[in-house]
Chains A and B, each alone.
Chain A
Amino acid sequence: MKLLSSHSCKVLGLAAGISLLSLGASLAEDITVWAWDPNFNGAAMEEAAARYKENHPDFNLHFEGFAREEVEQKLQTQLAAGTTEGLPDIVLIEDYSAQKFLLSFPGAFEPLNDAIDYSGFADYKVRLATVGNETFSMPFDSGVTGWFYRSDILSEAGYSAADLENITWDRFIEIAKDVAKKTGKPMLSLDLNDPNMVVIMLQSTGSWFFNEDGSLNLKDNPAFHAVMETYGKILQSPEIYKPVNGWAEYTGSFTGGDVASTITGVWITGTIKAADMPGQWAVAPTPRIDGVDGAVNASNLGGSSWYVLASSDKKDVTKNFLNEIWGNDVEFYQEILVGQGAVGSLLKVREGEAYKSSDPYFNDQPVWQMFSDWLGEIPGVDFGIFTYEVRSAIATQLPAIANGGDVDEAIEKIDAEARVLTQ
């Protein structure tokens, strides 16, 4: 007894064939993007996709969000394994890790020189994504830092915006202790596994963990010594910070009102605005390190760029999308500036309206103008390829410093561990 007659077989086969064809056709313009922070990168990417879709209705963007370390580890794992199935078309890579990926996995990323005009972008962003004479990134945001504080808590303690303008870290610690005493709220939330503050402080002095030639610049670096001493002072005053563990706890601490402020990159705006507390926030300049020549009240934390995987089979669509919106759409950059705090690296967008406007969420401060100004003051440094190794070595010594350990001893140990890791 035959289950299927030959006629029904043919019909089934035809139906299957047609459905496969239509399935193939409908997947024609689907782009996958891997990134972190759906409130910031995700929102910006979705906005870009919506704009591109207006002129290209077949275009569909799938944003997959993970934590930042997870994106990089996932990518590194797959590139190391050599399999390309499941890799996205676009991936977001933080600037500190850019060279690591480009140098470790030659051929994994698609050079974009033929699709994008790099002369319109900030030079330092283009340089960090370049190997030889090929550039691989669509430069995205700058991590220009600011001191995001709760204006209501600080005014309760008697401090106005003018009191917080261009101060040093020593003054910051004084103010923080006072605020903690008067309002009971710590000023910051710090993750001892992640020395973000050290990175911010160090770049604000114009120095970095590495010299021009790539060798370690920790032991005989007076700027690094000043930074570790300052951070030690903060860690040894437990009333002015709340220890947290991981991204969720960190963002929860200031959106939930447990701490009065956070000093980090402008990209935190997405999270702060998503917390829906209009009028309760304001921005002040990053505090500056005392006693180091060339230290300023401006720094950078993070900042990332979009990269196209060479394994993508939608390279043409992807490159076109990146160039049309991310490479040319000035209005788009105004939107993501105000909505997410994305300070773009496309130079001509600075002329736009939003970059000069005031923001009612931040008590009508001209925040975007402030960030634009600070962006111009950030000392440029060459990140090298081992930033995360050194950060890990610093994180190892932070508990010792918090318990009152000697800063010079800690720097010796950091240097030793960094040497081992950067072989």
Chain B
Amino acid sequence: MTQTRIGRNERINGWAFIMPALVIVGLFMIWPILWSLWMSFQTGRGMNMSFGGFDNIKRLAADPIFLTALTNTLTFLAIQVPVMIMLALIFAVLLNSPYLIGRGFFRTAIFLPCVTSLVAYSILFKSMFATDGLVNQAIMTLGLEPVAWLGHPIPAKTVIILAITWRWTGYNMIFYLAALQNIDKSIYEAARIDGVPAWAQFFRITIPLLKPVILFTTIISTIGTLQLFDEVQNITLGGPSNATLTLSQYIYNLTFRFMPSFGYAATVSYVIVILVAILSYIQFFVARERR
């Protein structure tokens, strides 16, 4: 069929239509990605770069700050993503119930943080969690000791996790809400008639039916958290003794704050790429259809 003239015309037309988008993606995404791969093999200070072979990878292996940044990033990932996904799921199921009054208001209220500016809300969180900020004042009126939120490693990490969760839960919740609309109500009716309790309905019916959407949001959240930058830069600036330093922030420091090492920064950024690839593969594997 593709040998006919009409078929060929259609093929050419098809390519012609996507050409502009392909060219732009190629120029602004593929080309910089390849160039940064080339840069990751260069060493040198500032603009004086020269080919260094595997020097950057050797430097990576011996770099304690990189290890700290990696540990922090993976810690945030391991704690924040599951908490947020569960929270978003629970909110979505709650807000899907037809008996809840003011559903529209709650949905808007939970989704609103996603449209706020990253820097604006980070600065607000920073002032709220300052030593004499709102949160400590609230704690003191309850009669408890004020916490040095931004002054110690674990409280600082907690603040970051709270900030990210507050911001992105609504985003994931919307995905689940949309997917929940597609589940046939008769399934739940049948389960109720069979005497299945609510929590079992949630775990045995809702979650398996939402699997593709959960997989999608988990991967998106993983990628987002691995690239965490705005919150840590604005709230803790890498935290008390690098306790909240993330990989993206380390790259920023290497490129724009310290003596610029563009090649090494490109190498660290490829670590993020590899991490994202590995974690996405693992998640696809875990969620595969078992036949």
Contacts and interface: CB of A to CB of B under 8 A. Distances in A.
A9 B39 CA distance: 52
A423 interface: yes
Interface string B123-145: 00010001100000000000000
A112 to B, nearest CB: 21
Interface residues of A, number: 33
A69 B131 contact: no
B2 interface: no
Interface residues of B, number: 29
B241 A73 contact: no
B131 A243 contact: yes
A103 B255 CA distance: 15
Contacts, number: 70
B113 interface: no
A80 B260 contact: yes
Interface stretch (A200-208, A366-374, A389-397): A389-397
A416 B242 CA distance: 15
Interface string A370-408: 000000000000000110110010011111100000000
Nearest to A97: B259
Nearest to B148: A243
B130 A245 contact: yes
Given A104-B47, A106-B47, A417-B64, A69 B151 contact: no
Interface in A50-85: 69, 72-73, 76-77, 80
A106 B255 CA distance: 17
Interface in A74-113: 76-77, 80, 100, 103-106
B66 to A, nearest CB: 8
B46 A104 contact: yes
Contacts of B260: 76, 80, 104
If over half of A's interface residues share one DSSP class (helix, strand or loop), that class is named, otherwise mixed; here it is: helix
A249 B131 CA distance: 11
B238 to A, nearest CB: 8
Contacts of A72: 257
B261 interface: yes
Contact of A105 (B46, B59, B63, B242): B46
23 contacts: A69-B257, A76-B255, A76-B257, A76-B260, A77-B256, A80-B255, A100-B46, A103-B46, A104-B47, A105-B46, A105-B47, A106-B47, A106-B48, A193-B237, A245-B126, A249-B130, A386-B259, A395-B241, A398-B241, A400-B241, A416-B64, A417-B64, A420-B63
Given A80-B47, A400-B241, 11 more contacts: A76-B255, A103-B48, A104-B259, A105-B46, A106-B47, A243-B131, A245-B126, A388-B257, A396-B242, A399-B152, A416-B64
